[in-house]
Structure 1
Amino acid sequence: MTTELEGRDKWRWIFEAGWRGLCPHCGEGRMFRRWLKVSDRCEACGLDYDFAAPDDGPAFFSLCFIAFPLLFLVVWFEVAMNPPWWAHLLVSAPLMIVPCLAALHPIKGWLVASQYVNQAQEAGTGALWAGLNARAKRDAEGRTPYATAAEAAPVAPAAPVAVPSALSAPASDALAERADG
């Protein structure tokens, strides 16, 4: 469904699929298996969610667009009313925490849908992500990344760092002169 989307339809689809937590490919399956845990694959169309890497994006957007503006209300509450500390616990804390937490799910859905529709990834990292995802699947299945131990590349020990004699001699002479003097 997402291959023919252009312009406004594309952005509307990203917003709708992300907000509702629907599969960005078919719009039928669920994107999340728990509150913020992205499913392994869509139960309707089989889309593999290995591409989904919103990382800290949901928290960043929640803080920038929700917590920061609400902070002005909390400061106004303090300056205008001068309430006791317990009033801030009852009013300010829930005012800041509840909207930020409530927005994490739709923001994460929006970011995952946006990554899928726009085929987003960092430039030049396609092969790296494919390798990392393959390694994670092997680890989850209990297989080692190498068929035999001989295939593993040996790790060379770090070479000791030698101090050039030209640098060490004047320093030792200066120390000897201080000790004598």
Structure 2
Amino acid sequence: MSARPNPVVAGVKCRCPNCGKGPLFSGFLTVREHCETCGADLSAADSGDGPVVFILLIVGAIGCFGLLFTEVSFHPPIWVELLIW
């Protein structure tokens, strides 16, 4: 039996945590049900709402920064800011 892969390396490469070779995702944030290489069951690795919250926080931070930058730099009327943001 081969040694288990380093979990950090497998995670960064988005590979199976069991063998380190098969792809972990079948879509953007969808975890595969089984590894194509070793057949390990990956369905228990449900990410829930974690990735969605992470992406929303990034998009929200970019939007808030843009709104504040626009307000401080240009002082547009409120209807223009609502139209833009």
Please state which band the TM-score falls in when normalised by the shorter chain.
0.5 to 0.7
1:64-90 residue CA offsets vs partner (Å, 9 max, x unmatched): 3x13432332222330224645983xx
The 3 A distance-change label for structure 1 pair 82 and 19 is farther
The 3 A distance-change label for structure 1 pair 82 and 20 is farther
Once residues 40 and 46 of structure 2 are traced to their aligned partners in structure 1, the CA distance between those partners, rounded to angstroms, is 15
**Secondary structure of 1:51's aligned partner:** coil
Unpaired segments of 5 or more residues in structure 1?
A: 93-181
1:25 to 5, 18, 24: 18
Q: Is 2:67–2:81's contact at 8 Å kept on the other side of the alignment?
A: no
Does residue 57 in structure 1 map to residue 50 in structure 2? yes
TM-score, normalised to structure 2's length? Answer: 0.66
With a CA cutoff of 8 Å and minimum separation of 6, indicate the structure with the bigger relative contact order. 1
Once residues 46 and 23 of structure 2 are traced to their aligned partners in structure 1, the CA distance between those partners, rounded to angstroms, is 17
Paired residues, number:
78
Task: Name the structure 2 match of 1:76.
Answer: 68
Once residues 42 and 16 of structure 2 are traced to their aligned partners in structure 1, the CA distance between those partners, rounded to angstroms, is 9
Once residues 75 and 49 of structure 1 are traced to their aligned partners in structure 2, the CA distance between those partners, rounded to angstroms, is 41
TM-score, normalised to structure 1's length? Answer: 0.36
Once residues 70 and 28 of structure 1 are traced to their aligned partners in structure 2, the CA distance between those partners, rounded to angstroms, is 35
Task: Name the structure 1 match of 2:33.
Answer: 40
**Secondary structure of 1:49's aligned partner:** coil
Once residues 17 and 26 of structure 2 are traced to their aligned partners in structure 1, the CA distance between those partners, rounded to angstroms, is 15
Q: Is 2:29–2:51's contact at 8 Å kept on the other side of the alignment?
A: no
Identity of aligned residues (%): 31
**Cα RMSD after superposing both structures:** 2.7
**Secondary structure of 2:59's aligned partner:** helix
